[in-house]
Structure 1
Amino acid sequence: MIPVIFEIGPLPVNSFGLMMACAFLSGIYLLANSFELEGIDPKISERFIFVAALSGLFGARLWFLIENYSLIDDNLFAAFFSSAGFVFYGGFLFATLCTYLLCLYHKIPFSRFCDAVGPTMALGYAIGRVGCQLSGDGDYGKVTDSIWGISYSTGVVPTPEGISVYPTPVFESIFACVITLILVKVEKSHAWRAVPWRRFGLYLLLISVERFLVEYIRVEQRYAYGLSSAQYVSALLMFSGLCMIVLKRVRS
C-alpha cells in the first residue's frame, strides 16, 4: 500500500486525494464531450464536476459516519475529515440532489444531464477505487487464502500482519472501467440517445449489479436475508434502472 505518494515540505500528498484529483480532471474532459453530444454548453461542465465532487465526498463521508457512528469520538471535525471511510451511495444520493438544483439554475432538463453524466460517474468511480486500493482505507474484502488475496498491513486501515483479503477495490475498478466503455459506446448510438433516461437507466443497472455482487465478499454489517445496506440500495437502483430502460423503450 502507498497511503502517501510524496511530500511537499511538511504537507503529505496522499494517494486517495491524488486519485480524486485525477478523477476530477478526467471528469471535466469526459463530461464536456458528453454535454456537447447532448446539446448542453460544455463550458459549464467544470461547474457541475466541482459541485458533484464536493457534494459527493460530503455525502459519502456522512453516510459512512452514520453507518459507523461508534467511530465518532469527542472530535467530530477530525472524524468527518479523516481520509478513511467513504460510502459511494451516500455520495451518489447527495451529489444527485445538488446537481439537480444546479440543473434548475441553468434551466437544463435533468433527464438530459443524467443521460450525459453516466460515463463520467463510472470513470470517476474506477479512478476512486484505485485510490482506495493504494491507500488501503478499509474498503477491502473478506479474509481469503486464494491467489487473489492481498495484505493491507501497511494501509490506512491495516489488516493484521500475514492476513490476506479480497482486493475488492481492484475488482470494482476493473468492472467500472468496463462499464465506462459500454456507456461511451452507447452514448454514440442514436437509438439510445433518442429516448430520455435510458442511458442513465443503463448506468444505474450496471453499477448496481456490480456493487451488489462485490458486496458478497466485503466485510459489512448484514441485515435481513444476509444482505448489507449497500445491497438493499443496489437492488432499489437496479430495479429503477431496469424500469427506465424498459418503460422508456415501450413508450417510445
Structure 2
Amino acid sequence: MYPNLYYVFKDFFGIEWNFLHFVNSFGFFVALAFIICSVVLAKELRRKGKEGLLGPVEEKVMVGKPASTTELATNFGLGFLLGYKILGLFMTKGSMVNPQEYIFSSQGNLLAGIGLGAVFAFIKWREKNRQKLATPETRTIRVWPHDRVGEITMIAIIFGLLGAKLFDTFENWDSFLKDPSSIFSMSGLTFYGGLICAGIALWWYTRKHQIPFLHFIDVMAPVMMLAYGLGRIGCQVSGDGDWGIYNAAFKTTANGGILPANLSEFQATVAQQADFFAHNSTHHAFFPKPGFLSFLPDWFFAYDFPHNVNEAGVPLAGCTGKYCNHLPVPVFPTSLYEIIMGLMLFGLIWAVRKRFKVPGVLFGIYLILNGLERFFIEKIRVNVKMNFLGMQITQAELISFLMIIGGIVMIVLLKRRYQEGKTVEKTS
C-alpha cells in the first residue's frame, strides 16, 4: 500500500522527497479521475452537438474593460492561498506526518503567498489590459455545452466531495461524534452521497444554461461509470478501509504475506488478536481459490492491506514509524473488484451509447448496472448496517436498490412517452 506519493517514489525510485507526503494516493487518483473524465465529457458533449442534440446558447458579455479591483483582489487571494500553503509546503523542512493537519492549520510561507498572489494579480491585469478598448462594448457570443466542461467539472468536484463526506458522516454518526475533526479528512467518502449531491447541483446548472437535461445525463452515464472505476484505484492503492469482510480460507503472515488456511486458524487468530477484534467485526466467509482461477495470485481473493493509510490492524514485523500496520486476517479486496467491474461497465456503456434514440434511456441503463454492481459487492464489503423496515441493510444497499428500480421505471416511462410522441406526429 502507498498512503501517499512519498512512499511510491521511495519504493519505485529510491527517492525521498518530503513534500510528497502531502499528496495522498487516494486524492491523487480522485484528481486523476476528474481530469480524465472531463476529457471524455468534452468529447461526448461535442459529439452530441455535432448530431444536433445539444445546441449553443447566446450570452451577452462586456469586453474591453480593464481589470476591476474585485478581479485583481480575487486573483491575488487565490495566488496567496496557493503560495502560502502549496509553495510553503515545498519550503517546509522535515517530514509531513499529517498533511490534513497542515492544510487546516495556520502553517505556511507568507513571502511565498504574497509573491504568488502578486503574480496572479499581474497576469489578470495584463490579460485585461491587452483586451482593453477605448470604449468597452457589449457583445453576443455563442456558448456550447462543451465550452462549459470546466464549470461542470468544478461543480461535480465541489458538490461531489461535499455530498460524499456528508453521507459518510451520516453513515458513521457515532464515529463523527467521537472525533468531529474527521470531517476534514479525505478518507471516508461515500460515492452515492457525491452522486446525489452533484446530480442535484448539475440539474440546476443545466436548467440555468438551457442544456437539455436528458441528453446531458446520457452523456454523463459513461463518464460517471469511468469515474467510479478510476476512483476505486485510489481506494485500493491507499488502503482506505474500503475493503471486504475476512476471507477465512487464507491467513496473514507476520511480514505481510498471504497463505492458504483453514477455519480453525482463523478462529485461533481471532483469539490471539483479542485487542483488535474487540473493536472490529469478525464477519467472515470461507472462500478458497477456485481451481479454474488458479492462475490468479492469492491476494486477488484475500489481502491484508499492509501499510494502509488508515493504520488499521496490527504491527508489521520489521517495520517502524508511520503506516506500519496490516490486517491480522486478509479480507476480500473489494476495491480491486470494483475497479475491474467499473471499467468493464464503462466499456459496455461506451460501446452501446449511440444505439439508443430515446433521451435518458442510457442513463437509466447506467443506474441499473451501477446499482446491481454495488448491491452485490455490498454482500462482501465491510459497512455500517442500519435498521430499515425491520431489515439490517447498509446505506449503499438501499440506495443501489432504489437506483435499480429508478432506472427500470425511468426507461419504461421515457420509452412510453417517446412512443406516444411518435404516435401524435403520425396522426397530426
* Structure 2 Cα separation of the partners of residues 51 and 240 of structure 1: 24
1:71 equivalent to 2:224? Answer no
1:206 equivalent to 2:358? Answer no
1:10 to 1:227, Cα distance in 2 relative to 1, 3 A: closer
In the TM superposition, what is the alpha-carbon distance from 1:34 to its structure 2 partner? 1.3
Q: 2:152 aligns with which of 48, 56, 65?
A: 48
* Structure 1 Cα separation of the partners of residues 19 and 170 of structure 2: 35
In the TM superposition, what is the alpha-carbon distance from 1:33 to its structure 2 partner? 1.2
In the TM superposition, what is the alpha-carbon distance from 1:8 to its structure 2 partner? 5.7
In the TM superposition, what is the alpha-carbon distance from 1:225 to its structure 2 partner? 3.6
Cα shift readout 1:108-154 (whole Å, capped 9, x = no counterpart):
12111111101110111111100011111111010013440001242
Give the structure with the larger helix fraction. 1
Over the aligned positions, Cα root-mean-square deviation in angstroms equals 1.8
What is the match of residue 31 of structure 2? 21
Q: 1:156 aligns with which of 309, 329, 336?
A: 309
Instruction: Give me the TM-score of the superposition, normalised by structure 1.
Output: 0.92
Partner-residue secondary structure (3-state), 1:84: coil
Instruction: Give me the TM-score of the superposition, normalised by structure 2.
Output: 0.55
* Structure 2 Cα separation of the partners of residues 50 and 124 of structure 1: 14
Residue type at the aligned position of 2:36: S
In the TM superposition, what is the alpha-carbon distance from 1:57 to its structure 2 partner? 0.9
Partner-residue secondary structure (3-state), 1:72: helix
Residue type at the aligned position of 2:313: T
Partner-residue secondary structure (3-state), 1:166: coil
Given that residues 23 and 124 in structure 1 are in contact (C-alpha distance below 8 angstroms), is that contact kept between their aligned partners in structure 2? yes
Of 142-151 and 66-75, deviating more is: 66-75
* Structure 2 Cα separation of the partners of residues 250 and 175 of structure 1: 31
Residue type at the aligned position of 1:48: I
Residue type at the aligned position of 1:142: I
Give the structure with the larger strand fraction. 2
What is the match of residue 200 of structure 2? 97
* Structure 2 Cα separation of the partners of residues 37 and 202 of structure 1: 20
1:141 equivalent to 2:244? Answer yes
Query: What number of residue pairs does the alignment pair up?
Result: 248
Cα shift readout 1:19-49 (whole Å, capped 9, x = no counterpart):
0111111111100111122224312122111
Given that residues 73 and 79 in structure 1 are in contact (C-alpha distance below 8 angstroms), is that contact kept between their aligned partners in structure 2? no
Given that residues 16 and 135 in structure 1 are in contact (C-alpha distance below 8 angstroms), is that contact kept between their aligned partners in structure 2? yes
In the TM superposition, what is the alpha-carbon distance from 1:3 to its structure 2 partner? 0.8
Partner-residue secondary structure (3-state), 1:108: coil
Of 35-44 and 137-146, deviating more is: 35-44
In the TM superposition, what is the alpha-carbon distance from 1:159 to its structure 2 partner? 3.4
What is the match of residue 59 of structure 2? none
Whose radius of gyration is greater, 1 or 2?
A: 2
Of 21-30 and 241-250, deviating more is: 241-250
Residue type at the aligned position of 1:90: G
* Structure 2 Cα separation of the partners of residues 57 and 129 of structure 1: 15
Residue type at the aligned position of 2:305: Y
Q: 2:337 aligns with which of 171, 175, 184?
A: 171
Given that residues 152 and 159 in structure 1 are in contact (C-alpha distance below 8 angstroms), is that contact kept between their aligned partners in structure 2? no
Partner-residue secondary structure (3-state), 1:126: helix
In the TM superposition, what is the alpha-carbon distance from 1:10 to its structure 2 partner? 7.1
| Structure 1 gap segments, 5+ residues each | none
Of 34-43 and 203-212, deviating more is: 34-43
1:220 to 1:105, Cα distance in 2 relative to 1, 3 A: same
* Structure 2 Cα separation of the partners of residues 8 and 196 of structure 1: 50
Identity rate, percent: 33
* Structure 1 Cα separation of the partners of residues 170 and 384 of structure 2: 13
In the TM superposition, what is the alpha-carbon distance from 1:73 to its structure 2 partner? 4.8
Q: How does 1:113-132 map to 2 (within 5 A)?
A: 113-132=216-235
* Structure 2 Cα separation of the partners of residues 219 and 18 of structure 1: 24
In the TM superposition, what is the alpha-carbon distance from 1:18 to its structure 2 partner? 0.8
1:196 to 1:17, Cα distance in 2 relative to 1, 3 A: same
Given that residues 5 and 20 in structure 2 are in contact (C-alpha distance below 8 angstroms), is that contact kept between their aligned partners in structure 1? no
* Structure 1 Cα separation of the partners of residues 31 and 358 of structure 2: 33
Q: 1:35 aligns with which of 31, 34, 45?
A: 45
* Structure 2 Cα separation of the partners of residues 73 and 152 of structure 1: 27
Partner-residue secondary structure (3-state), 1:22: helix
Cα shift readout 1:182-214 (whole Å, capped 9, x = no counterpart):
11112222xx0x201100000000000000000
* Structure 1 Cα separation of the partners of residues 32 and 201 of structure 2: 22
Of 240-249 and 7-16, deviating more is: 7-16
Partner-residue secondary structure (3-state), 1:79: helix
Q: 2:410 aligns with which of 221, 235, 244?
A: 244
With CA pairs under 8 Å and 6+ residues apart, which has the higher RCO, 1 or 2? 1
Of 84-93 and 241-250, deviating more is: 241-250
Given that residues 2 and 309 in structure 2 are in contact (C-alpha distance below 8 angstroms), is that contact kept between their aligned partners in structure 1? no
Given that residues 114 and 200 in structure 1 are in contact (C-alpha distance below 8 angstroms), is that contact kept between their aligned partners in structure 2? yes
* Structure 1 Cα separation of the partners of residues 349 and 20 of structure 2: 42
